[in-house]
């Protein structure tokens, strides 16, 4: 599992509240990703990072922001949660050196009421 | 735009049978990967095939790639109940683009 943890694993929140999800890795991999998974859509990329303080938008970045102040932590923030952001969120890392495989965390189930 | 599309959406077979899942994509790729997801878990990488390869094997898995048809297939031979999971293909383009996942195939292997 490449030492990837996500916290919290489950969260229920109300519309309009800010939410921050954390992805932590223990092996100093350069590339980190945040995806959301919804029925019928597979995984869709929200944001990704290619180093400390280096981040970029993915396919579905509206309403989300990220930060990476340390190699091991990649934070995903919903500034003002909406019901459409109810989803399962997965963090992933990709090995460096031209390797293509992604390793995924266990996921965070977020319910926005 | 969604790059990969798996087919079928769901597949139910008996233990011991072979399972075949297909993936189609739209643009040129550098590589195509297959992942498995057990219920409530994260995705696990199964196999990667590069655009200059036509077939790869890993244990009971066989992956083929036809770049002229922009399609790939994943064959699981002699399936087991433990193979019950969702299977996703993911593609990566030629210019360092990020991975794009399809919606997945739900495989049920009945004992």
Q: pLDDT tens for residues A48-105?
A: 999 999 999 998 999 999 999 999 999 999 999 999 999 999 999 998 776 788 999 9
Task: Name A57's bridge partners.
Answer: A47
Backbone angles phi, psi at A111, to 5 degrees: -120, 120
Q: What is the pLDDT of residue B2?
A: 43
- Residue A78 has a pLDDT of 97
Size of interface A-B (CB pairs under 8 A): 54
Report CB contact under 8 Å: A102, B99.
Answer: yes
Residue A107 to residue B41, Cβ atoms within 8 A: yes
Q: Which of A102, A105, A107, A108 should one mutate to test binding to chain B, selecting the residue with the greatest count of B CBs within 10 A? A: A102
Rounded to a whole number, what is the distance in Å from the CA of A76 to chain B's nearest CA?
17
The residue extents of the domains of chain A are: 4-112
Average pLDDT over residues A22-30: 93
> Is there a contact between A41 and B103 if contact means CB atoms under 8 Å apart?
yes
Q: How far apart are CA B18 and CA B11, in angstroms?
A: 11
Pairing of strands A54-57, B10-14: unpaired
For strand B5-7 and strand B100-101, is the pairing parallel, antiparallel, or unpaired?
unpaired
CA–CA gap between residue A11 and residue A78 (Å, rounded): 13
What does each C-alpha distance from B61 to A24, A26, A74, B36, B79 come to in angstroms?
Answer: 31, 30, 33, 12, 10
* Contact indicator for A92, A105 with CB cutoff of 8 Å: yes
Q: Looking at CA atoms only, how far is residue A3 from chain B in angstroms?
A: 13
pLDDT at residue A66, as a whole number: 98
- Residue A24 in this model has a pLDDT that exceeds 50: yes
Tell the burial category of A13 from Cβ atoms under 10 Å away from its Cβ (0-12, 13-18, 19+): middle
pLDDT, residue A95, reads 81
- Give the residue on A whose Cα is nearest the Cα of B50: A100
Interchain CB distance below 8 Å, A42 and B45: no
Report DSSP state, residue A113. -
Measure A72 CA to nearest chain B CA, in Å. Answer: 19
The answer to whether the beta carbons of residues A63 and A85 sit under 8 Å apart is yes
Q: What pLDDT was estimated at residue B1?
A: 40
Q: Which helix (H) or strand (E) holds B36?
A: strand B31-37
- For chain B, 111 residues long, give each residue's pLDDT as a single digit of tens: 445 678 888 999 999 999 999 999 988 898 999 999 999 999 999 999 999 999 999 999 999 999 999 999 999 999 999 999 999 999 987 766 688 898 899 999 999
Q: Do B101 and A44 touch (CB under 8 A)?
A: yes
Mutate to test the interface with B, among A33, A41, A43 (most CBs of B within 10 A): A43
Distance CA B1, CA B85 (A): 25
Q: Classify domain A4-112 by CATH architecture.
A: Sandwich (2.60)
Q: Which domains does chain B have, with CATH numbers?
A: 5-110 (2.60.40.10)
């Amino acid at each position: 599992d490449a030492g990837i943890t996500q916290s919290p694993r489950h969260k229920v929140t109300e519309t309009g509240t800010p939410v921050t999800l954390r992805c932590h890795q223990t092996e100093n991999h350069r590339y980190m990703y945040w995806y959301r998974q919804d029925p019928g859509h597979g995984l869709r990329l929200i944001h990704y990072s290619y180093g400390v303080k280096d981040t970029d938008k993915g396919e579905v970045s509206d309403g989300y922001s990220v930060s990476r102040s340390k190699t091991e932590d990649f934070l995903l923030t919903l500034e003002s949660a909406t019901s459409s952001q109810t989803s399962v969120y997965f963090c992933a890392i990709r090995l460096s050196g031209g390797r293509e495989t992604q390793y995924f965390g266990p996921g965070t189930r977020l319910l926005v009421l | 735009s969604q790059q990969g599309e798996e087919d079928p959406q769901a597949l139910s077979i008996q233990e011991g049978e072979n399972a075949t899942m297909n993936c189609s994509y739209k643009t040129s790729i550098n590589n195509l990967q297959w992942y498995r997801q057990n219920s409530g878990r994260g995705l696990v990488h199964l196999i990667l095939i590069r655009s200059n390869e036509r077939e790869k094997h890993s244990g009971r898995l066989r992956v083929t790639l036809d770049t002229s048809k922009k399609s790939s297939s994943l064959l699981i031979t002699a399936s087991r109940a433990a193979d019950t999971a969702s299977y996703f293909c993911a593609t990566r383009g030629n210019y360092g683009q990020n991975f794009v996942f399809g919606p997945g195939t739900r495989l049920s292997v009945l004992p």
